[in-house]
A = this chain, B = another copy of it.
């Protein structure tokens, strides 16, 4: 990475980073400025400015949602489970990321405590310093506590209880090769940390439009441990993907909610305006295309 991105600042850039969406598709984006570029014990961390003036984090050569559209990722990730839970108080975030999950969580009046587990202190420090537009200082909020520990060992030892757990690490499909985090033990540990009707939510990568066996296998695993699951998705233009989220409830069925109830919850809870989610959006996301519905029906 350091070799490719050498010129730290130049007026007219011609640095195109290429991502391989599949064997027959690539996506390239122009980097106009490299803001910081560091290597931690765990990953390459690069923060850049893109041609459209948005800023973005690049982890191990993978572009993350940018300041142009990160709300299309983080708002559905956080607010859909929160609407379902209604009055979330105690939250666990596995993987600090840019700090945007904590930022969205802090928009809810009922939230009292946020624990973040992150093994890589450098990502928190870099994003705090170079991506304040995204985290809005959330890492320093008094409700937030960051534990610099390995996620799997943290959750097997933690004795707190949570209403909602966000799994914000590399998506389980990509992890398949090195099997680092996402497995049956992790799901069981998370479940044991949840309060009654507690929810876990994770991101599962691009929504597969053709039957995807690995995706189905992961959904089946989640269903075997949690009482119910619900898949929804959001299209993120900057990374050319329709990302899917899986919501899991420990004790009860995840059911549709009437528009007026959702609207009332949001009105009562929100301390700050949202750009992407409102009651209508909630209804929309809970009613996905048929091929997504079918993943909900496996197993």
Contact = CB atoms under 8 A, between A and B. Distances in A.
A51 B23 contact: yes
Contacts of A275: 290-291
A291 B235 CA distance: 13
A7 interface: no
A50 interface: yes
Contact of A242 (B68, B210, B237, B286): B237
Interface residues of A, number: 43
Interface string A250-282: 000000000000000000000000111110111
Contacts of A242: 235, 237
A30 interface: yes
Contacts of A16: 26
A52 B72 contact: no
A296 B287 CA distance: 20
Contacts of A277: 289-290
Given A22-B52, A51-B23, A290-B275, A72 B209 contact: yes
A285 interface: yes
Most chain B beta-carbon contacts within 10 A, residue among A206, A240, A242, A288: A240
A284 B285 contact: yes
A287 B290 contact: no
A61 interface: no
A156 interface: no
Given A51-B23, A237-B242, A290 B283 contact: no
Nearest to A234: B289
A111 B293 CA distance: 28
Contacts of A27: 25-28, 240
Given A280-B290, A288-B284, A26 B28 contact: yes
Q: What are the 6 A-B residue pairs with the smallest beta carbon separation, nearest first?
A: A24-B51, A284-B287, A24-B30, A283-B287, A235-B235, A240-B240
26 contacts: A22-B51, A22-B52, A23-B30, A24-B52, A25-B28, A25-B30, A26-B28, A27-B240, A28-B28, A68-B209, A72-B289, A235-B235, A274-B290, A275-B291, A278-B290, A280-B290, A280-B293, A281-B288, A281-B289, A282-B287, A283-B284, A284-B284, A284-B285, A284-B287, A284-B288, A287-B287
Given A27-B240, A206-B237, A283-B287, 20 more contacts: A16-B26, A22-B52, A23-B51, A24-B30, A24-B52, A25-B27, A25-B29, A234-B289, A235-B235, A235-B242, A275-B290, A278-B290, A278-B293, A280-B287, A280-B288, A281-B289, A282-B287, A283-B283, A284-B285, A284-B287
